[in-house]
């Protein structure tokens, strides 16, 4: 599409490609990029390597396409992936997008995909879930551990690498006002908030089956240790569902020993929705969560959320209306459970989720991409023709 035609651009006329950094577990980022790809009507999403989970995409029919074969020495590239992010920036940088056509717009998801070098007439939009947290806002949280001490030089290098490639992104979407602020803090970049969507009609309330629910990876970042400690002291049943994360083995041992705690591991979408429909309330303890779709899914299921008082969940949850906030400690979680048991919630829980429906997401996404592209081509036109 030529700059001269920019005033007459229609979204349907744009050639769009979508890329996602890698997949080592099916989670919120993979859900989002699948729904985004559906909204812009592409057939597949480019990614580094085949998804590590051998299960097919649980969030839709979009196929993930490995870009590694397009790189030289693909066997070496596969080996490099085991080193994590150290080589990811360079691998995305080495992708020649001309081998995949000439998109008008490339939408990337994830930190390392921002390293792509696009043709000069292609608009690069990144959907940012957060600047890498261990480089920035969580950098000091692990610096005193043995791993933190050893990894610190690598993290410093990766932080510089991350900052260097930022200029390759033309525009940003972010998943919440929290990330809008964080993006400005660390990159000094403006962005557009585009909430991840949920399919509201899939969620329902099947009553209270007598258990509290924790959804998400068994991960230190999710505050699982405090959740387990709280329910060890409560006479309430806790059901946990989510894949294995980086939590200490001692916490897993405590989960196994607790009479009132059950961990089911990773569950598919159908079982997750069923658990949400049956629980008493959802316990959420993610640390300064960028977005956190679980509280929204809980309200869509007619269930209250007992959430940590930081990050976007603290913005979404109104104390006493659609849930209760706590300070992330075992004592705080216990207090929130007791407040909920005593007072319940006064708000219309499902109504709190209405702004996150799929049609709203699709409309906002398409309109903003079109607007970004008009601005981009206008700049190109002004530069070329004076």
DSSP state of 258: -
Same-domain pairing of 107 and 155: yes
172 and 207 co-located in one domain? no
Tell me: do 249 and 190 sit in the same domain.
no
Planar angle of CA 84, 88, 94, nearest 5 degrees? 155
Strand 63-66 and strand 44-47: pairing? parallel
pLDDT of the residue at 104: 96
b/e map 356-377, b = 16+ CB within 10 Å: bbbeebbebbbeebbebbeebb
Q: State whether 210 and 63 are in the same domain.
A: no
Q: What is the CATH number of the domain that holds 178?
A: 3.40.50
Tokens 């649980």 belong to 58
- Please indicate, yes or no, whether residues 159 and 96 belong to a single structural domain of this protein: yes
CA–centroid distance for 330 within its chain? 26
Which DSSP string corresponds to 275-305?
HHHH-SEEEE--TT-S--HHHHHHHHTT-EE
As for how many domains the chain has, the answer is: 2
3-state secondary structure of 273: helix
| CATH number for the domain that contains residue 303 | 3.40.50.2000
227 and 341 assigned to the same domain: yes
366 with 346, same domain?
Answer: no
User: Do 168 and 46 share a domain, yes or no?
Assistant: yes
| Cα separation, 158 vs 152, whole angstroms | 10
Kindly state whether residues 78 and 20 are assigned to the same domain.
yes
Structure confidence at residue 248 (pLDDT): 83
Same-domain pairing of 27 and 86:
yes
- On whether both 267 and 325 belong to a single domain, the answer is yes
- Per the CB < 8 A criterion, the answer to whether 307 and 330 are in contact is no
Looking at the structure, tell me whether residues 267 and 298 fall in a common domain: yes
Residues with Cβ within 8 Å of 84's Cβ and at least 6 positions away in sequence, in order, are none
Helix/strand/coil for 349: coil
pLDDT tens by residue, the chain, 386 residues: 544 456 678 999 999 999 999 887 787 889 999 999 999 999 999 998 878 777 788 888 899 998 888 887 667 666 666 656 678 898 999 999 888 889 999 999 999 999 999 999 999 999 999 999 888 888 887 667 766 677 788 889 999 999 999 999 999 999 989 899 999 999 999 999 999 998 899 999 999 999 999 998 888 889 999 999 999 999 999 999 998 878 888 999 999 999 999 999 989 889 999 999 999 999 999 988 878 889 999 999 999 999 999 988 999 999 999 999 999 999 999 999 999 999 999 988 988 888 899 999 999 999 999 999 999 998 765 555 44
Residue span of the structural domain in which 204 resides: 200-355
């Amino acid at each position: 599409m030529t700059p001269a035609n920019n005033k007459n651009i229609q979204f349907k006329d744009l050639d769009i490609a979508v890329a996602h950094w890698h997949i080592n577990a099916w989670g919120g980022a993979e859900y989002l990029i699948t729904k985004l790809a559906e909204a812009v009507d592409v057939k597949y999403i480019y990614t580094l390597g085949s998804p590590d989970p051998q299960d097919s995409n649980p969030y839709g029919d979009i196929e993930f396409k490995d870009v590694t074969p397009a790189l030289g020495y693909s066997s070496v590239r596969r080996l490099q992936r085991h080193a994590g992010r150290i080589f990811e920036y360079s691998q995305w940088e080495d992708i020649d997008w001309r081998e995949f056509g000439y998109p008008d717009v490339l939408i990337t998801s994830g930190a390392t995909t921002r390293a792509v070098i696009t043709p000069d007439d292609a608009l690069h939009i990144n959907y940012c879930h957060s600047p890498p947290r261990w480089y920035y806002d969580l950098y000091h949280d692990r610096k005193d551990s043995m791993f933190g001490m050893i990894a610190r030089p690598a993290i410093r290098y990766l932080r510089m690498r991350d900052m260097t490639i930022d200029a390759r992104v033309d525009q940003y979407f972010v998943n919440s006002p929290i990330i809008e602020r964080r993006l400005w803090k660390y990159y000094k970049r403006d962005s557009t908030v585009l909430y991840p969507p949920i399919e509201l009609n899939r969620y329902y309330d099947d009553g209270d089956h007598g258990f509290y629910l924790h959804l998400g990876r068994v991960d230190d970042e999710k505050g699982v240790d405090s959740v387990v400690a709280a329910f060890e002291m409560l006479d309430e049943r806790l059901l946990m569902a989510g894949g294995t994360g980086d939590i200490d083995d001692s916490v897993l041992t405590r989960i196994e020993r607790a009479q009132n705690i059950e961990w089911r591991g990773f569950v598919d979408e159908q079982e997750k929705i069923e658990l949400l429909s049956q629980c008493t309330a959802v316990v959420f303890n993610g640390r300064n969560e960028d977005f956190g779709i679980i509280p929204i899914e809980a309200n869509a299921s007619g269930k209250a959320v007992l959430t940590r008082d930081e990050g976007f969940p603290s913005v979404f949850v109104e104390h006493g209306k659609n849930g209760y906030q706590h300070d992330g400690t075992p004592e705080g979680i216990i207090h929130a459970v007791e407040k909920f048991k005593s007072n319940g919630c006064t708000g219309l829980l499902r109504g709190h989720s209405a702004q996150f429906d799929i049609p709203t997401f699709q409309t906002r996404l398409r309109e903003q991409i079109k607007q970004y592209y008009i601005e981009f081509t206008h700049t190109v036109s002004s530069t070329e023709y004076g």
